[in-house]
Amino acid sequence: MPNAESVDDRLLQRTPIRPLVLLAIDDDDVRARFAYELAASGFNVAVSAATTARPSIIVATLSVENRGGGLQADNRTGDPRFRGVPVIAIAPDASHETCDVARLQGCVAVCVTTCSGATLAAGMRAVLDRTR
Q: What structural domains and CATH numbers belong to the chain?
A: 17-131 (3.40.50.2300)
104-117 pLDDT, tens per residue? Answer: 988 999 999 999 99
Return the pLDDT at 88: 95
% of the chain exceeding 90 in pLDDT? 58
Judge whether 62 and 68 are in contact, CB under 8 Å. Answer: yes
Averaged over 18-28, what is the pLDDT? Answer: 93
Return the pLDDT at 65: 60
61-82 pLDDT, tens per residue? Answer: 986 665 444 554 444 446 788 8
What 8-state DSSP symbol labels residue 16?
S
What 8-state DSSP symbol labels residue 92?
S
Q: Which residue has the higher pLDDT, 78 or 22?
A: 22
Return the pLDDT at 74: 42
Return the pLDDT at 12: 52
What 8-state DSSP symbol labels residue 65?
T
% of the chain exceeding 70 in pLDDT? 74
Q: How far is 26 from 20, CA to CA, in rounded Å?
A: 19
Q: Which residue has the higher pLDDT, 34 or 17?
A: 34
Return the pLDDT at 2: 53
Residue 7 has pLDDT above 80, yes or no: no
Averaged over 74-101, what is the pLDDT? Answer: 83
C-beta contacts of 34-37 below 8 A and 24+ residues apart: 34/59, 34/90, 34/117, 34/120, 36/117, 37/116, 37/117, 37/118, 37/120, 37/121
